[in-house]
Amino acid sequence: MKITTCIILLFAALTPGLLAQAATGTLQGRISDSLGAAISRGFFLVHSEERDKLDQQLTLNENGEFHIQLAPRLYDLFVGSVGFVPYAKEFRIEAGKPVALKIKLQVDMASITED
C-alpha cells in the first residue's frame, strides 16, 4: 500500500512538468495581396534563437493559409513572394493561446518594369 501511494505522489509531482514540456501553441493565418487575393507561392519561414535554434519553412495552401503548432517561445517570421515586398514580424507563442495573423503583402513597385 505504501509503495502504491509513493508512486501516485511521484506521478502527480512529475505530470505538470511533463505536460508543460509537451504544451504547444498555434500559429495560423492567411497571406494575401493588398486587395485580398490569396498568395499561395513564395517563402514562409519561422525562426527562433531561444533554447534550441529552430528554422522551419511552411507551405501555404491554395488560399494562402497556414497552420502550425510551435513550442512556447519568441519567434521571427519572414514571408515573401516574387513581385512583393518581403514581410517580417516578431511574435511570441504561448501554450494554449493561438496567434492569428492576416498578412497583406505590398506590390514591389521596383520590380515592375516597362518593356
Average pLDDT over residues 3-8: 47
Q: Is residue 8 part of a domain?
A: no
Mind listing the pLDDT tens digit for each residue in 102-111? 999 999 988 7
* CATH number of the domain encompassing residue 29: 2.60.40.1120
Mind listing the pLDDT tens digit for each residue in 23-69? 889 999 999 999 999 999 888 999 998 767 778 888 889 999 999 99
Categorise residue 71: left if φ over 0, alpha if ψ from -120 to 50, beta otherwise: beta
Q: Is residue 64 part of a domain?
A: yes
Counting the structural domains of the chain, the total is 1
Q: Is residue 83 part of a domain?
A: yes
Q: Is residue 47 part of a domain?
A: yes
Q: Is residue 1 part of a domain?
A: no
Q: Is residue 7 part of a domain?
A: no
Least confident of 42-46, 74-78, 83-87, 100-104: 42-46
Q: Is residue 89 part of a domain?
A: yes
pLDDT over threshold 50, residue 92: yes
Supply the range of the domain harboring residue 103.
24-111
Q: Is residue 86 part of a domain?
A: yes
